[in-house]
A and B are shown apart, each in its own frame.
Chain A
Amino acid sequence: MEGDRLDLSPLDPKMTEERWEWMVERILQGARPELTRRAGRAGLLSTIGEWLWPALSAAVLAGVISGAVLSRLDGGPAEAYASVGVIPALEVPEPVSAWLDEERAPQVSDLVVALEGGSR
């Protein structure tokens, strides 16, 4: 079938080379605003990219360090406070803390002992 090809070369518009160039130029002129917009967008994206990665890396690093510090603090002072208890931590006098531990109301004698102990 290739041998049946019609010779259409008399119709070939390439013969008018100047016309083709004019057409190319016309298309490129028309495309300029869109090309400029695209180039600007690509530049903006790359600028954001340049800032974004270091910022993200720093944030991830800060997160890792914070996590590590917090995990080391776990079981430290918090546990220590828990084992001491509230009453000793508030430095309640010994006789008073005994009533509180035993969950009973103080007797008159207890109050006398407490007051004497406190004055000593």
Chain B
Amino acid sequence: MAATDRELVELAREGDAQAFETLVRRYLRPAHAVALAVVGEAADAEDVVQDGFIRALEQLDTCQPDRFAAWLMRIVRNRAISLHRKKKVRATMPLEWAAGARSRSDPVADAERARTQERLKEAIETLPERQREVLLLHDLEGWKHREIGDVLDMKEGTVRYTLFQARRAVRARLGVESHKEM
């Protein structure tokens, strides 16, 4: 049976590298989604995630072990916002999703994938930051409304509504035909 967050946090507090690695692997993807939604660039998101995990480790004694995920995401989000402010990126932010994600064998599939990716990127770039976070955590990372609410400090109903708005905006951007494809 997989170790619980509580068990892993308690071990990591004592310097257990294996436990910390398990936590990193468990929460790297959602942390990356949160960071990417704020900073908009994959390289920056990676820096934020790395920094966020190390900060979290340094402050691990202040964490309630059962609430590790929400606590970590808040750290990552705050780091992302801080970086975002420093860089003063306010206008259009080029989102770099899944850079280099190509199947090396099928050029037609690659081209189609690149086109879809491009359309999605453009649609998501137009969303407000909070809608982007909710959409990515739910539809890309598969988090539940309640979990997203915990992390982003939102009520579950607000998460649902924000998600609804985000999806509607993306679909509108992609157009009816694309909507049918999806």
**Which residues in A have some Cβ–Cβ distance to B below 8 Å?**
1, 4-16, 19-20, 23-24, 26-28, 30-32, 34-42
Is A4 within 8 A of B50, CB to CB?
no
Q: Which residue of B lies closest to A29 (CB)?
A: B50
- Complex interface: chain A residues within 8 A of B57 (CB): 31, 34-35
Encode B102-135 as 1/0 by CB contact (under 8 A) with A.
Answer: 0000000000010011001100100000000001
- Complex interface: chain B residues within 8 A of A5 (CB): 138-139
With contacts A8-B140, A41-B15 taken as known, whether A26 is within 8 angstroms of B170 at the C-beta atoms is no
Is B28 within 8 A of A20, CB to CB?
yes
Interface positions, chain B 131-182, Cβ under 8 Å from A, are 135-136, 138-140, 160, 163-164, 167, 170-171, 182
- Complex interface: chain B residues within 8 A of A35 (CB): 12, 15-17, 20, 57
Interface positions, chain B 24-55, Cβ under 8 Å from A, are 24-25, 28-29, 32, 42, 46, 49-50, 53-54
- Complex interface: chain B residues within 8 A of A41 (CB): 15
Distance from A100 Cβ to chain B, minimum over Cβ atoms (Å)? 75
Choose the segment among B63-71, B80-88, B92-100 that binds chain A (4+ C-beta atoms closer than 8 Å): B92-100
Most buried by A among B136, B140, B171: B140
17 pairs, A vs B, C-beta closer than 8 Å? A1-B164, A4-B164, A8-B135, A10-B117, A11-B117, A13-B42, A23-B46, A27-B28, A27-B53, A28-B17, A28-B24, A31-B53, A32-B17, A35-B20, A35-B57, A38-B12, A40-B15
The 8 tightest CB contacts between A and B, nearest first, are A39-B15, A38-B15, A15-B101, A42-B14, A11-B97, A8-B140, A10-B117, A10-B116
Is chain A's binding surface mostly helix, strand, loop or mixed? helix
- Complex interface: chain B residues within 8 A of A30 (CB): 50, 53-54
CA A4 – CA B120 in complex, angstroms? 16
CA A34 – CA B139 in complex, angstroms? 34
Is B50 within 8 A of A27, CB to CB?
yes
CA A38 – CA B57 in complex, angstroms? 10
- Complex interface: chain A residues within 8 A of B42 (CB): 13
CA A14 – CA B17 in complex, angstroms? 23
Distance from B57 Cβ to chain A, minimum over Cβ atoms (Å)? 5
Is B101 within 8 A of A13, CB to CB?
yes
Q: Which of B29, B120, B167 contacts A14 (CB 8 A)?
A: B29
Is A7 within 8 A of B98, CB to CB?
no
With contacts A6-B139, A10-B98, A13-B29 taken as known, whether A24 is within 8 angstroms of B17 at the C-beta atoms is no
- Complex interface: chain B residues within 8 A of A27 (CB): 24, 28, 49-50, 53-54
Is A31 within 8 A of B20, CB to CB?
yes
- Complex interface: chain B residues within 8 A of A36 (CB): 15
Is A24 within 8 A of B160, CB to CB?
no
CA A49 – CA B15 in complex, angstroms? 18
- Complex interface: chain A residues within 8 A of B58 (CB): 34
